């Protein structure tokens, strides 16, 4: 038997191979693409913040002309 | 006031997130499990012993867990979009968004995991030059899917 929860020798080897000094760097590496996907999804939903800012500036300009 | 294009945003985002999730599952099920041509860390920890196979399986599982979360999030967004009366329901926009998400998965995962971090290659067991060809083919598949997806979204007259 070999699994992260197994008490066998191979099980211990598996646990040592997962929960070691590289655990958090490996975790970060696995998460990284998903962080990018989340960022793209936010941009898709709300639009680019720069675009919104320039849009607001345009609106302000138009207000100035109308005043 | 919402413009016609921005009215599509909830549907496009939902389809995109769902596409990312489905792309992740396609990769995980076909490449990691059925064909077993790579695992999550197979370029760092080549699975040539039972323990190394198990360690890779753990990280594969974590990858699937995040893919599952993306899919669940995509379903939630889709449900919200369907319930929102202001959001136009268009099949080609939804399918196009799903394909774009699927392609983005291949492109982003390919660039980060295969090229930058080199966690694994598409065909880990091949010799080095072949690995590069498969990696490039994977990236190209992503670009093609994004192009098809985007053109399907733009097919809608309101989006033109």
> In this structure, how many other beta carbons lie within 10 angstroms of the beta carbon of residue B49?
14
CA–CA gap between residue B147 and residue B9 (Å, rounded): 18
CA–CA gap between residue B105 and residue B19 (Å, rounded): 8
User: Over the stretch B75-88, which tens digit does the pLDDT of each residue have?
Assistant: 999 999 999 999 99
Task: State the smallest CA–CA distance between residue B120 and chain A in angstroms.
Answer: 11
Contact between residue B11 and residue B84 where contact means Cβ atoms under 8 Å apart: no
Mean of pLDDT values over B71-99:
96
* ipTM score of complex: 0.90
Which residues, numbered 14 to 53 in chain A, qualify as contacts with chain B under a Cβ-Cβ cut-off of 8 Å?
Answer: 14, 17-18, 26-27, 29-34, 36-37, 40-41, 44-45, 47
Which is it for the CA torsion A17, A23, A28, A34, positive or negative? positive
Q: Number of A:B CB contacts under 8 A?
A: 68
Per-residue pLDDT at A54 exceeds 70: no
Q: Does B108 sit within 8 Å of A33, measured CB to CB?
A: yes
CA–CA gap between residue B66 and residue B75 (Å, rounded): 14
Task: State the smallest CA–CA distance between residue A67 and chain B in angstroms.
Answer: 22
User: Over the stretch B100-154, which tens digit does the pLDDT of each residue have?
Assistant: 999 999 999 999 999 999 999 999 877 777 899 999 999 999 999 999 999 999 9
Which is it for the CA torsion B22, B46, B59, B108, positive or negative? negative
């Amino acid at each position: 038997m070999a699994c992260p929860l197994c008490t066998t020798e191979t099980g211990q080897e598996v646990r040592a191979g997962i929960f070691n000094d590289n655990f958090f760097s490996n975790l970060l590496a696995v998460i990284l693409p998903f962080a990018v996907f989340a960022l793209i999804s936010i941009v898709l939903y709300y639009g680019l913040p720069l675009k919104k800012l320039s849009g607001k500036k345009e609106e302000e300009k138009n207000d100035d002309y109308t005043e | 006031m919402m413009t016609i294009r921005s009215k599509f945003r909830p549907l496009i985002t939902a389809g995109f997130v769902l596409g990312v999730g489905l792309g992740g599952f396609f990769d995980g099920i076909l490449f990691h499990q059925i064909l077993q041509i790579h695992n999550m860390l197979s370029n760092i920890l080549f699975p040539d012993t039972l323990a190394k196979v198990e360690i890779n399986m753990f990280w594969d599982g974590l990858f699937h867990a995040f893919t599952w979360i993306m899919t669940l999030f995509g379903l939630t967004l889709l449900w919200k979009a369907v319930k929102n009366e202001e959001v136009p329901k268009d099949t080609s926009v939804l399918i196009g968004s799903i394909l774009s998400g699927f392609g983005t998965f291949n492109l982003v995962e390919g660039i980060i995991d295969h090229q930058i971090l080199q966690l694994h290659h598409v065909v880990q067991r091949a010799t080095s030059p072949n690995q590069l060809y498969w990696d490039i083919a994977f990236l190209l598949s992503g670009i093609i899917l994004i192009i098809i997806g985007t053109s399907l979204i733009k097919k809608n007259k309101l989006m033109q």
